[in-house]
Amino acid sequence: MAAAAAAESQLAEPFPHPLATKCRDVRTDFAKIGRIGEGTYGKVYKARDKMTGEVVALKRIFLLNEKSEGFPLAGLREITSLRALRHPNIVDLRDVALGPKGDVFLVCEFCDNDLMVMAEHRDEPFTEAQVKCILVQLLRAVQHVHDRGYVHRDIKMSNLLYRNGRVKLGDFGLARPCPPGSGRYSSRVVTLWFRAPELLLGSTTYGSALDMWSVGCVAAELLLGRPLFPAAVEHDAVVLISRLLGPPSPDRFPEVERLPSPPQAAITEGAAAIRRALVSACLHGRPLPVPPHPRSPAAAHASPPDAFEAVFPRLCPEGLDFLRRLLAYSPARRLSAAEALAHPYLTTVAPPPADPAHMPFCRDQISIDAEEAARGRRRRVVKPGPAADPTDLDPGRKPAALIATSASRAP
């Protein structure tokens, strides 16, 4: 722990406690336009900077039990990470401001929306060229994060912000420095649908490969038009992963043997059971037992050893290889961000990534909410539901990128 703390101190730029510095005043320096979102760690507002005229995003950090617990760790992590990781494809932190009750606001560049909302409100799916454009920008951001010795630990569609064809990686509340061999970390990170197998099995020693698994989940969702592993609980997630990747083996997942026994509170009872089954399957070469689960109606169905071609029937061989190498059981065998950027699927296979200038337009959340209010509809909130079989291709489902034409289309 001491080594990890020292590494974090060395890697992050010095940044004092926000309340101990001269901060701008939200009441006098900014004109709020409307609320555009709310996350785990704070609310987000669209506002205009009265000094510069720039439209910005004000992210309020929740201050729960500040007197007893101090400034929230997630807020400190986000501030230090954003200051240390400036990059064209990472949301830019402009300043820090204070509210009337001492609330802390991060003043960030404004983006119209996130990819999850954008995908939901588009009349047509992303084309394959547009998907590649998004992935190239995401991978550039992730490469920069990893090159600086950090891990993001919460890459998902709703944390990929978008404006005028530009993709920005945001929400660094779980980010931290993670030098190799620096210590143990929490396994309770990354949103469940994007969580790597080693985390699901309780590993507390991990590295940048966990982010690459999440990138693979994002890539798959963009191509499919739906989440790849929409699990409700850890048990379901492991079941869905095993159905797509096939059963694990000592050759494919050697790290399982070295996983320490986690504390009882680290993983749920269902995850612990499937963890024991995975370890047994890997060490003894037995098939992975996948018993029916009350929240997994798909658990009664079988799938081939590797279901990638069934799930992505229109994806070229290079695209299948790209996904397989991101979504590998073994963290050591996953593509790094640099390797993914150099993969033939993104560099030589047609169609090439779309030009960001030709990417589709996206309305901001205030405009979307106003239109839906006029129609008498409320904002739809996507919540994890029962796990679905990833090999179940619903023919009535809205077509995804691989069904649409691969040519880029302007709005």
Annotated binding residues, written as ranges, equal 59
> Does the bond joining 390 to the residue before it have cis omega, within 30 degrees of 0?
no
Tell me the CA end-to-end span of the chain in Å, nearest whole number. Answer: 50
Q: CA 404 to CA 129: how far, in whole Å? A: 10
Residue with tokens 């940044």: 15
Q: CA 156 to CA 387: how far, in whole Å? A: 18
Greatest alpha-carbon pair distance for the chain in Å reads 67
Pairing of strands 93-98, 24-25: parallel
Q: Quick check: helix, strand or coil at residue 200?
A: helix
Element (H, E) at 35: strand 30-38
Active site residue 154: yes
Q: CA 360 to CA 399: how far, in whole Å? A: 17
Exactly one of 154, 211, 236, 389 is catalytic; name it. Answer: 154
Element (H, E) at 9: helix 2-11
- Count the helices and strands in the chain (H runs, E runs): 15, 11
Q: CA 189 to CA 200: how far, in whole Å? A: 10
Residue with tokens 């000592």: 250
Which whole-number Å values give the CA distances from 379 to 36, 101, 120, 373, 394, in the listed order?
11, 29, 11, 8, 25
Radius of gyration, CA atoms only, the chain: 22
Residue with tokens 């555009």: 36
Closest CA to 138 of 82, 249, 222: 222
Contact 113, 367 (CB under 8 A): no
Active site residues: 154
